[in-house]
Amino acid sequence: MNKQQHQQLIELLKELHLPMFREYHQEFAQKAIADELGYEEYLYELAQRECEVRRANKIDRLIKTSKLPLEKTLQTFELERMPLKIRRQIKVLSEGSFLLGNRILQVP
């Protein structure tokens, strides 16, 4: 690929909003050549990277917009402030053991 085609490719990827394609296409192309991968495998690797980054960015964006305090976790949750029945349900839910059975949990 000559320099002009490369620059056009960068512009097209920018227009299509594919930043990870822009960032990694050369690196992945060299890897594809070295590993004797075909076009489909090369494209798959690029698309996979783009999707991974988009998912991570979406999670970050949703966390920020939720305005939930990040320091709140189950470990820092003050269980002793809850009634006994709720504490038991929280314990079952946190262990995930209810998923193994066919029980339906009812939360008041």
**Amino acid 104: pLDDT:** 64
* pLDDT digit string, tens, across residues 17-72: 889 888 988 898 899 999 998 888 988 989 999 999 999 999 999 989 988 887 87
Instruction: Assess whether 59 and 77 both reside in one domain.
Output: no
Q: What secondary structure letter does DSSP report for 81? A: G
Regarding whether 104 and 74 lie in a shared domain, the answer is: yes
- Pair 85, 62 in one domain: no
46 and 12 within one domain: yes
Say if residue 107 is in the same domain as residue 95. yes
pLDDT at 15: 87
Task: Answer yes or no: is pLDDT of 12 > 90.
Answer: no
Q: Which residue has the tokens 């038991």?
A: 88
Same domain, 34 and 74: no
Q: Which residue range forms the structural domain that includes residue 37? A: 3-66
pLDDT for 65 equals 93
Q: Tell whether pTM > 0.85.
A: no
Block residue for tokens 């504490």: 87
